[in-house]
Structure 1
Amino acid sequence: MDSATPEQLSSLTSQGSGPAIYFDGVSSRRRTVVLHLSERLEIGEDGQALAAWDYSDIRRVDGPAGVLRLSSLTAPALARLEVRDAALAAQLVSRCASIDDHMIGRRGVAAIVGWSLAAAASIVAVVLFGLPLIADRLTPLVPEAFERRLGEVADAQVKTMFDAKVCDNAAGQKAFVKLVTAIRESAGLDTSVQSGVLSSPIPNAFALPGGKVYLFNGLLAKAENPDEVAGVLAHELGHLKHRDSMRGLIHNGGTSFLVGLLFGDITGSSALIFGSRTLVTSSHSREAETNADSFAIDVMHRLGRPAKPTGELLLRVTGKEGKGLSIISTHPLSEDRLTRMSRQDPPASGPPLLTSEEWKALKSICSAKI
């Protein structure tokens, strides 16, 4: 059949038959066969039938240009049929309605691209909307005992990460307790709130889950009066009141934290996520920061003290660029916060939160005991 003339091939094709190459899938033998297109595709060699394929079972297989390569669902897995005659190939394709069912054609590629884009959009939607919603719904359900335990783990990590110790100069500690107590009572929080000053030069302050608030000595050193420090502490108490640390942990920790929450693992990956993201980068959302600012302004006004000094401290630490203080990074600019706190400030009507001597003692809280 390899020596058939073009006239012979044309005659065969016009009759619904023609030459092809066949591999039976059992041996490696290459057979030159004749195809006959009747109710089924009949494959013959030297007048003997080798196989018959139902058109509904025939599928296209990848092949070189100019070759129609086929397989059959009911034939051996490696069985292949190669048709090089374009006219015969066209007739055969027209009879096989499902020939491209498993092939990725243009529609298939378009579908894959479409589903990929949809999957990417879903991921973005989950990150932007799903996780915050989940965090908002789950936070009130987290037991306070669990949150306190998590805070204890995070507490140890913070002190290790910043190589910081709790400052305990007696006079300074007494003044700090007086300041925190006034703010806590004005904020409507109970005595379970724990606070302290850590010996670190970093100008920062933060709240941990379970009711812990820390002020770094680096921020205290830059403060010029008790009202500045009081406003920062009130801001952090606002985060405690709203349980923003827990909400941010669930949001930023995502799946890792949720798994830890289910299995009670807060000493491994979940605590690490909390320490590295929520504490170091202060990943509170812009909304959470704004709400904490509102809380601090309200607390300071209930005490009869101005909120403006807090804004002045934040701007002094960060500068106009808004850099250097983690409680502000990625959140409202210091200039904007100062403007807001100044605009909402009534005249001071309450007594000073600390005397001049108490303020001096607080500024020296991290110095050696006398």
Structure 2
Amino acid sequence: MALSRRTPSFAAAAMIYAELYDGISPMVQRVSLRVAGQGSTAMLELKNVETQGSQRWSLADMRQVPDQASADAFIFAPDNAGPARLVIREREALRILLSALPDLKPLRPRNGSPLRLLGLAGAAVVAFGAILFALIPFMADKGAEMIPPATEMALGQTTFNQIYPAMGAYECTDPAGQAALAVMQTRLTDGLDLPYPVQVHVVFDPSLNATALPGGYVTLHNGLIQAAETPEEVAAVLAHEIGHVAHRDGTRAVLRRTGSFGIIGLAYGDFLGSSAVAAVTQQLVNSSYSREAEARADAYAHDLLAHAGVSPASLAVFFERLRAEGLDTDLGVFRHLSSHPGLLDRIAASTAAADHGFTQGPPILSGAEWGALQSICQNSAHTAIDKS
């Protein structure tokens, strides 16, 4: 666009307008323009026609954005660093402004821009990785220690009440089966010091699964109970999940998935929307913890079982038998074991734990109690889980 250089002033012209992009909001602002002052101190006043808010750009510092001018518009920047852009389309406004900018210079490219951009991209990737794999896990571990036990228990109840109905599962409440489960739980947790009581539930779901939710909530799927050959195998899985409870792994997992926003919210007793947290926690049912967390829960289970007079090798027996029967490709929370290089090590560790000061006690359940536990979902009408 060829423009002749004249010396008219904005004051002598009719009201002229331009489009302002402030570099912060995606919204375009319609602004009126006026030059104030003269010489090196002259300023361009931009006034928002809606809000009447105004700002001033130094004419001496203004730059034309190169390679962005079209046949009907010129684009200007406030200086060489500011993100704002002023788009002027009115011919008369351009004529007047350019006459007031005899030394207008183009916007300079950033020094070393290709390498600099590559470096910035690399730094962003490193920063993101540090946040994802270091900072958030660290904050989750520390955040779990900050959350009051009552808040964790309420979170566990909320997620339990929402997750399983969404899966089509229901809680099994046959009185004889629940009494047998209580006998097993008491045997394992006798004298155990935890920040909240362990609450064990059986849900009718055919998957071979068990889950430790926040706040001491543990669920055993009926499919796992049916796959076990002895009550000691179920007790071994339950002891493993209690290990996750003791280390608050369920809460840590929720915090890692919700990030710093969830950590702060839960620390102050705010679930940030129970549905959202429940959706995050539902992933716990279909995923696994880290290898370190699983090994830690295994070691805790070994001690818990030995203290209860149950062989720590029961966990290895359960894993090994399912593996031998080819069932390890669909083990719910144990699904990762089918390809996990540490499976044989975990089996060996459970077997070896039985050789260190273990004294065999009586069966953890009687024959009648074991039968009642296996029939917990069959001998009574199911109980719908309260979604509230």
TM over 0.5: yes
C-alpha contact 1:253 1:274 (8 A) present in aligned 2: no
**Which of 272, 278, 299 is the matching residue for 2:279?**
272
Distance 1:147 1:77, change over 3 A: farther
Please state whether the residue corresponding to 2:211 is helix, strand or coil.
Answer: strand
Greater radius of gyration (CA): 1
Question: Is 1:168 the counterpart of 2:173 in the alignment?
Answer: yes
Task: Kindly state the Cα deviation for residue 146 of structure 1 after the two structures are TM-superposed.
Answer: 1.3
CA RMSD of aligned residues (A): 3.8
Q: Given the alignment of the two structures, is residue 299 of structure 1 paired with residue 304 of structure 2, yes or no?
A: yes
Q: Secondary structure at the match of 2:172?
A: coil
Aligned equivalents of 1:55, 1:251: Cα separation in 2: 50
Is 1:361 aligned to 2:366, yes or no? no
- Cα pair distance change 1:296/1:186, threshold 3 Å: farther
2:287 alignment partner, SS class: coil
> How far apart are the structure 2 equivalents of 1:345 and 1:59?
78
The partner residue of 1:312 within 304, 314, 317 is: 317
* Structure 1 position 223 matched with structure 2 position 228: yes
DSSP 3-state at the match of 1:61: coil
CA distance in 2, matches of 1:288, 1:367: 34
- TM-score, scaled to structure 1: 0.70
The residue type equivalent to 1:184 in the other structure is: T
How far does residue 201 in structure 1 lie from its aligned partner after superposition?
0.8
Q: Work out the CA distance in 2 between the residues paired with 1:334 and 1:103.
A: 59
Give SS of 1:367's match.
coil
Consecutive unaligned residues of structure 1, counting only runs of 5 or more, are: 1-20, 28-53, 65-70, 82-95
- 1:252 corresponds in structure 2 to 257
Instruction: Report the counterpart of residue 330 of structure 2 in structure 1.
Output: 324
Tell me the distance in 1 between the aligned counterparts of 2:179 and 2:217: 18
Change (3 A) 1:309 1:274: same
308, 333, 343: which one aligns with 1:334: 343
Deviation, structure 1 residue 126 = 0.8
Deviation readout 1:308-367 (Å, 9 max, x if unpaired) = 221222344466795322322446543332121112222652222112222222211211
Q: Of 193, 198, 206, which aligns to 1:193?
A: 198
Match of 1:157 in 2: 162
Q: What TM-score, normalized by structure 2, do the two folds share?
A: 0.67
Residue 163 of structure 1: how far off its partner (Å): 1.9
Larger RCO, structure (CA 8 Å, separation 6 or more): 2
Tell me, what secondary structure is at the counterpart of 1:103? Answer: coil
Amino acid at match of 2:351: S
Q: How many angstroms apart in 1 are the aligned matches of 2:290 and 2:303? A: 20
Partner of 1:350: 361
Report the residue type matching 2:280 in the other structure: I
Distance in 1, matches of 2:65 and 2:277, equals 51
Aligned length: 304
CA distance in 2, matches of 1:153, 1:367: 26
Provide the identity percentage.
28
Residue pair 1:322, 1:334 contacting (<8 A) in 2 also: no
Counterpart amino acid of 2:378? S
Q: Aligned letter for 1:273?
A: V
- Identify unmatched segments of 5+ residues in structure 2: 9-58, 70-75, 80-92, 382-388
1:207 aligns with 2:212: yes
